[in-house]
Structure 1
Amino acid sequence: MKLTKLLTTAALALGLATGAMAQDKLKVGFVYVGPVGDGGWTYEHDKGRLAVEAEFGDKVETVFVESVPEGPDAERVMTQMALDGAKLIFTTSFGFMDPTINVAAKFPDVKFEHATGYKRVDNVSTYSARFYEGRAIQGHIAGKMTETNIIGYIGSYPIPEVIRGINSAFIHARKVNPDVQFKIVWAYTWFDPAKEADAAKVLIEQGADVILQHTDSTAPLAAAAEAGNIIGFGQASDMGEYADGPRVSSIIDNWAPYYIARTRAVLDGTWTSTDTWDGIGPGMVGIGEITDKVPADVKAEALAMKDAIAKGEYHPFTGPLNKQDGSVWLADGEVADDGTLLGMDFYVEGLEGTIPN
């Protein structure tokens, strides 16, 4: 009887210890708009999640849900994550903004991090990258390399983040090639390979020999490879499988350091609601290898621009710059303020067409 009681007590103690260890482990959730295998945006966020696991080991448990539509379904997914014990949740698409705020109100003890949005409360932080810095470098390369003087641009949604990228690429393409024209096709999706491929094909039919994209799959590069004599750029990820094909460089989103830092802040109790908007300098935006298809002098110029941006010596939105209607936006030497950039809802002078509502 005593032995049985002793074993029962030991088993209970072991169970309590195991339970305590489980409770001490921080559960970190990630909500993705696309599949982890998209080769672009979501793929890079998931690399950040894996970096958190590698950094903290058994101190954390990470979970994720992929291909979550923006809207009510996102709210359901976030709610379930919180109910399942996640104490830190990263929501990784602009359209998750209102669902994040709504769910955060129901779970004040859960910390939320929303990518590319602008709404914050005590338990919601926001973070994004200055993708427009990479677009400036892409625009320079595109302007130098186009032979038709038509550059195609696949936009996802007409939000400031995407409009900034279009303007930045156009400004820097025009600086080196005054004859450049941009053709813009709106896909109204972040990830839909069929739509993205169709958009690329339309732009190529319109004479574009360079394709830029602000969508998440490799489909535009595949379409460019099929067409031949077209160049393109990796978006959000290196998309290096096309380095021998149309891809001449890329913008790489490096979320790992941020995800590690914010997870550590929750673990050590220093987490507060903040807004982070970093670029090439801090390393949140990377420029993928510029291949040998790019002439040596153009590559050198692009890398020099990258270094100048990283050091804070050059800002992609530096005047003189006018708005599309010809009105003065930035005087000579004047630099755009972050508030204007964050709310950007206009094209710069020289871009054709109108921004959809």
Structure 2
Amino acid sequence: MNIKRRSLLGTAVLALSLGLGGAALAQDKTKVGFIYVGPIGDGGWTHEHDQGRLAVEKEFGDKVETVYVENVPEGPDAERVMTQMALNGADLIFTTSFGFMDATINVAKKFPKVKFEHATGYKRADNVSTYSARFYEGRAVQGTIAGRMTKSNVVGYIGSYPIPEVIRGINSAYIHAKKVNPDVQFKIVWAYTWFDPAKEADAAKVLIEQGADVILQHTDSTAPHAAAKEKGGVYTFGQASDMSEYAPMPRISSIIDNWAPYYIERTKAVIDGTWESTDTWAGIGPGMVGIGEFSSEIPADVQAEANALKDKIASGEYHPFTGPLKKQDGSDWLAEGETADDGTLAGMNFYVEGIVGDIPQ
């Protein structure tokens, strides 16, 4: 009887371990969620965030489960999506667009045990971190190339929304284009979207009609490249991702957002129980901002000049916002050798001297 009872008990224990134990193992997995403003196939911003998600899966294997929701509008619906993700057991949620900021803060209050990471925002809480990349460093390199490559002396810039992140990029690109080409001028078209191929293509066509033979963009699709390719003789730069399918023409280089190391680091912190609310703003030096391969269309001396600038920025030897610089209205901003502080850059709401046009309110 004892042998039989032990046998039955062993069977019960085995069943329990397969049932409850299996559930426990499932619960031990760290669930990491991602909220995307665009489709993962956008070829730009969201694509690179999703590459970061895939890197987390590769790094941690069975220790993690990742989930994502794409095409989430910036607004009330974002809060609903985040809430559902938290209710479904997410331990860590990355919300990857500026317009998700308030929704992230609101949902984080309801789920204090869930960790949130908001990209490009500035509002934090005990369970909300913020992170961004110093894209303006890459814009300095792009501006240098654009200033050298333009023949019409007109550089077009497609802006998404008039927020500090985008304004910083315009200013940085212009400053460095102007340094190498005093005759250059910038024309700016605001698309009021992060991802809308039709609007982005229309913006590119308008800029080309206005004489631009180089186009930079702070929108997420490859549509401007397609419009430039159709026109011919117009240079473009990849945004957020390499967009190398349009190389060597019209795409001659790119800014690449490398989120993978950060996503791995923050996921590990949750797994280890060491996660704390932080603010991260990294650039070329730490590798969060990359410069895409230069096209053969760029002359060797221009490539060398751009690489030298990139290296100086990466080492900290040079800051893209170094005086003397004035604001658009002619007032003094930075004295000779003075560099902009992060607070001013984070809230930048003005153009530098020489840029024509108003920032939309």
Pair in the same fold by TM > 0.5: yes
Deviations, residues 87-127 of structure 1 (Å, cap 9, x unaligned): 10000000000000000000000000000000000000000
Deviations, residues 209-258 of structure 1 (Å, cap 9, x unaligned): 00000000000011110110000000000001011320000000000000
Q: 2:143 aligns with which of 124, 134, 139?
A: 139
- Give the secondary-structure state (helix, strand or coil) at the position aligned to 2:192: coil
Q: 2:322 aligns with which of 305, 318, 323?
A: 318
Q: CA deviation at 1:188?
A: 0.2
- Give the secondary-structure state (helix, strand or coil) at the position aligned to 2:138: helix
- What is the RMSD of the two structures over their aligned residues, measured on CA atoms? 1.0
Q: Which amino acid aligns with 1:63?
A: V
Q: CA deviation at 1:8?
A: 4.2
Which position in structure 2 is the counterpart of 1:100?
104
Q: Which amino acid aligns with 1:89?
A: I
TM-score, with structure 2 as normaliser: 0.98
Which position in structure 2 is the counterpart of 1:172?
176
Distance 1:269 1:305 in 2: 40
Distance 1:9 1:258 in 2: 42
The answer on 1:123 being equivalent to 2:127 is yes
The answer on 1:344 being equivalent to 2:348 is yes
Distance 2:119 2:225 in 1: 25
Deviations, residues 9-41 of structure 1 (Å, cap 9, x unaligned): 421221111011011000000000000000000
Which position in structure 1 is the counterpart of 2:231?
227
Distance 2:226 2:34 in 1: 29
How is 1:1-357 mapped onto 2 (pairs within 5 angstroms)?
Answer: 7-357=11-361
Distance 1:318 1:339 in 2: 15
Identity among equivalent pairs (%): 79
- Give the secondary-structure state (helix, strand or coil) at the position aligned to 1:28: strand
Q: CA deviation at 1:327?
A: 0.4
Q: Which amino acid aligns with 2:107?
A: V
Q: Which amino acid aligns with 1:185?
A: V
Q: Which amino acid aligns with 2:225?
A: L
Work out whether residues 248 and 297 of structure 2, in 8 Å CA contact, stay in contact via their aligned partners in 1.
no
Work out whether residues 258 and 289 of structure 2, in 8 Å CA contact, stay in contact via their aligned partners in 1.
yes
- Give the secondary-structure state (helix, strand or coil) at the position aligned to 1:154: strand
Work out whether residues 79 and 107 of structure 2, in 8 Å CA contact, stay in contact via their aligned partners in 1.
yes
Distance 1:151 1:68 in 2: 32
Distance 1:10 1:95 in 2: 50
Deviations, residues 39-84 of structure 1 (Å, cap 9, x unaligned): 0000000000000000000000000000000011100000000000
Distance 1:214 1:53 in 2: 29
Q: Which runs of 5+ in 1 are unaligned?
A: none
- Give the secondary-structure state (helix, strand or coil) at the position aligned to 1:195: helix
Distance 1:306 1:222 in 2: 27
Distance 2:258 2:326 in 1: 32
Count how many residue pairs are aligned between Structure 1 and Structure 2. Answer: 357
Deviates more, 1:236-245 or 1:96-105: 236-245
Q: CA deviation at 1:6?
A: 5.1
- Give the secondary-structure state (helix, strand or coil) at the position aligned to 2:165: helix
Q: Which runs of 5+ in 2 are unaligned?
A: none
